[in-house]
Amino acid sequence: MGQNKKVLFLYTNPHSGHHKAAQAISEALLLHAPNVEIMNIEALKFSYPHLQKVIHKTCIVIATKLSRFYDFLWDNVNIERRIRKFKEIINKNSLDKFEKLFVSFPTKVAVCTQALPCGFLSTLKQKKNFSFKLIAVITDYDVHTYWIYKEVDIYCVATKAMKEKLMQRGIAEEKIKIIGIPVNSQFTQPANRQELRKKFGIKDKSFCVLIMGGSYGIGPLNRIITDIDRIKKDITMIIVAGKNQKLYKKIYKILGKTKKSIKLFGYTNHIAQLMSISDLLITKPGGLTISEALCFGLPMIITKGVRGQESGNFKYLLDKGAAVAAAKPKDIVPELTKLINNNSSLKIMQNNALKIAKPNSAEEISKLITNYL
């Protein structure tokens, strides 16, 4: 390694899979190269501190309330071309701040786990002639046109299909590495299922269903609980409401009124433990959540969350036989009942999940980074 051992990580939301991916790589990097200096930047807050919350809330509304419009915008080459000038203005307006940052923290490698900061740094390389290596880590099982920048040195992707798609968009093959989506090391460690079940107060023989809606608790989780409560089986539900306090309070009010045992969590750092003690996961197909679940071989019932990239995740899991689909909330109970009554189907899904899991992705990306230090 050279003298400059500074690495910068950029994402746009501190409570997202993109941030979790950056953290996973950071932790793995420090294990391989403990002398590396790491800085994590929330790119929107850094660039536009007064607009950051407004932009973030607008994106959530578009993704959840205007999903068809979001789907139209996502990976639309014609739309990308039309807004290219607007993107250039946004990127240029952040230029001075990033130039000062790179002067004060002379970065050798910058890692972006989201497309927007990747655009900021591509403009910095282009306009200010900085020579750092720019690594784009895509945290879904599909890739969209807003990731395409010729200044990116390496793209880390999860699948061969993503590599082929990038090549079709003009990215050189040698720039693309099929590595996977980086997950924290806790998702790669063996767990004592029996001890953890005891810790969380879950009976050994109870069929345990983990129900999640991402970090913001997106989806009809309260309806799912009511429907599952009618199934005549010994089922324990673990509910993770994430940052959605309104949802948490709704579910909290029904605790003790249901026939089934319910374990309720808000935003928690115990997801790895909860996955390790569960028999099945019901979730929208967020890239990090499903990658974490794959490491445990956890069968999934996938609901249609937001569109865009999650549609690609949805399709990937179904194609690989690691999940079954519940296009509407009413479809969840029939699918769950079938799986509870058919242990061989669950086993097949578990094996399929383990086949496509890439638990060492964070470590591999960290090794890639050290090659440039």
Domain count, the chain: 2
Give the model confidence (pLDDT) of 184-228 as tens digits: 999 999 889 999 999 999 998 999 999 998 665 566 788 899 999
Residue 48's pLDDT band, with cuts at 50, 70 and 90, is confident
Selected residue with higher pLDDT from 27 and 306: 27
Q: Are residues 212 and 79 in the same domain?
A: no
In three state form, how does the secondary structure of 99-130 look?
A: HHHHHHCCCCEEEECCHHHHHHHHHHHHHHCC
Strand partners, 264: 239
CA distance 124 to 110: 12
Domain assignment present for residue 248? The answer is yes
Q: Are residues 69 and 36 in the same domain?
A: yes
Query: What is the percent of the chain where pLDDT is above 90?
Result: 63
Residue 276: CATH number of its domain: 3.40.50.2000
pLDDT at 327: 83
pLDDT for residue 83 is more than 60: no
Could you give the residue ranges of the DSSP H alpha helices within 178-233? 193-200, 221-228
Give the model confidence (pLDDT) of 115-163 as tens digits: 989 988 998 998 888 889 999 999 999 998 889 999 999 999 999 999 9
Could you give the residue ranges of the DSSP H alpha helices within 138-190? 160-168
What one-character DSSP code corresponds to residue 322? Answer: S
Q: Are residues 91 and 73 in the same domain?
A: yes
pLDDT at 242: 85
pLDDT for residue 13 is more than 60: yes
Q: Are residues 112 and 79 in the same domain?
A: yes
Stated pTM of the model: 0.88
Q: Are residues 93 and 177 in the same domain?
A: yes
Q: Are 8 and 107 in contact (CB under 8 A)?
A: yes
Strand partners, 326: 303
